Structure 1
Amino acid sequence: MSKKRVLITGGNKGIGLAVSRAMLELGHEIIIVAREFETCPLIGVKDVTAIECDLSKLDTLPALAKEVGDIDILINNAGYMQPKYTYDNYPVERRDNIMNVDLYAPVELMNIFSEHMKKQKYGRIVNTASIAGQIGHPDVWYGIAKAGLINATKIYGKLLGSHGITVNCVAPSPVETDMQKDNSEERKKEFKKTVATGRFAEPEEIAKAIVWLATDCPEYINGICIDINNCSYPR
């Protein structure tokens, strides 16, 4: 594959960082969008551009797109959860924030960056969803956002497929990332009992699936969701 320009939201840590590293190894140029880069080891590395942006502020996305320029591959990876809030005690501002980051921003970025992809008759879009969007989650709005992202993947696969663009997503069960600090030890222990190998996924395992969908995946694989949960939700 020839050198591509790849935008990775949340590419500064966790799954996103693993994707960023893998894309660099394949010889691509990457643009990482995140709120901060204090611990990102890729700052200053050749073919890496880092752009600070708070994706919860949807009105900044047009300016972000202008700064990024045209891309060939979009990885909508940024997301977070806040399980400390219960369904009956969820501040409106926190609900709006998580919906913006986990659902509305990815959809808007697909709208914006697919325009150039349509012109060049080529593009790859991969969304990071979650098992939470399939079986529910204590953080109700996280689950709702991820369910919406899975459905958005199907919709945009249909809308963009005839333009040479594939849109797919992955739905991982819990992964060993900083996000786990928001989960209780009891919940983590109980979930591991449902997994065939009794452990959470490693970021690199999820990244391999994302990178394949964004690169070598045939165009007939479009609008799908790859479950990555080690038999915790077989279907």
Structure 2
Amino acid sequence: MSKKRALITGGNKGIGLAVATALLELDYEIVVVARNFDNFQLGGLPNVTEIQYDLSDIENLPVLAKEVGEIDVLINNAGYMQPKYTYDNYPKEAKEHLMNVDLHAPVELMNLFSVGMKKRKYGRIVNTASIAGQIGHPDVWYGIAKAGLINATKIYGKLLGSDGITVNCVAPSAAETDMQNDNDEKRKAAFKAAVVTNRFAEPEEVAKAIVWLATDCPEYINGITIDINNTFYAR
């Protein structure tokens, strides 16, 4: 029996790396797409394929999909924020780049890879959104993109569920990743104060939820968003 294959965007570090590591331990073959692989901890390991690609390039995503080949699992994890810009001073180029990476690319990858999944009547898609898409965010376009990704999860769960494909989402609050380098100390302290344990999430904590959705999640769990925020947004 052949190994299952998983594509992880942004799987070179942070939450994506934790997901990639966990799937390798489950004997998956993984394909990691990222802008660079500097200090990539899984580089050169068996069952790991690295593809360097900038996901803001929406036009050439079909070429990327062809290079990746057929997959069983799609983890739309890549994303970033730009807190240096304010709602009334957000350059057009910066907005478009962020929306391409954080929303348009994940949606287009679902379109592309669901074709093969539908033929095989099996697929698992997991999108990494954010609490920013649920309660608003100072980086307005990051929040808008993540809200769109949560909604896209619901839509594609309905569109693809009858073909044996589940589409689910996680919405973590701030995690201990490189994204925190863009936040000042005052903002970091405010984030920590909003949760009961006064700390950021560890990447592995978020990864456990993603991996479950990508592997053992029952078919009847489809189109949902799992909150990972330690009471920041309890509902």
TM-score normalised by L of structure 2? 0.99
- C-alpha displacement at 1:144, in angstroms? 0.2
CA distance in 2, matches of 1:22, 1:175: 18
Residue equivalent to 2:52? 52
Whether 1:135 and 2:140 are equivalent positions in the alignment is: no
CA distance in 2, matches of 1:232, 1:38: 33
Residue equivalent to 2:153? 153
Q: Which amino acid aligns with 1:94?
A: A
Secondary structure at the aligned position of 1:59 is classed as coil
- C-alpha displacement at 1:3, in angstroms? 2.5
| C-alpha distance after superposition, 1:157-207 (max 9, x if no partner) | 000000000000000000000000111110110111110111000000000
Secondary structure at the aligned position of 1:106 is classed as helix
- Percent sequence identity is 77
Residue equivalent to 2:211? 211
Q: CA RMSD in A?
A: 0.9
Residue equivalent to 1:14? 14
Q: Which amino acid aligns with 1:181?
A: N
Secondary structure at the aligned position of 1:58 is classed as coil
Q: Which amino acid aligns with 1:203?
A: P
- C-alpha displacement at 1:113, in angstroms? 0.0
| C-alpha distance after superposition, 1:9-46 (max 9, x if no partner) | 00000000000000000000000000000121111000
Residue equivalent to 2:75? 75
Q: Which amino acid aligns with 1:66?
A: K
- Deviating more after overlay: 77-86 vs 187-196: 187-196
CA distance in 2, matches of 1:39, 1:229: 29
Residue equivalent to 2:92? 92
Q: Which amino acid aligns with 2:105?
A: A
- Deviating more after overlay: 94-103 vs 186-195: 186-195
Whether 1:192 and 2:192 are equivalent positions in the alignment is: yes
Q: Deviating runs (4+, > 2 A) in structure 1?
A: none
In structure 2, runs of 5+ residues without a counterpart are none
CA distance in 1, matches of 2:182, 2:199: 17
- C-alpha displacement at 1:2, in angstroms? 6.9
TM-score normalised by L of structure 1? 0.99
Q: Which amino acid aligns with 1:34?
A: A
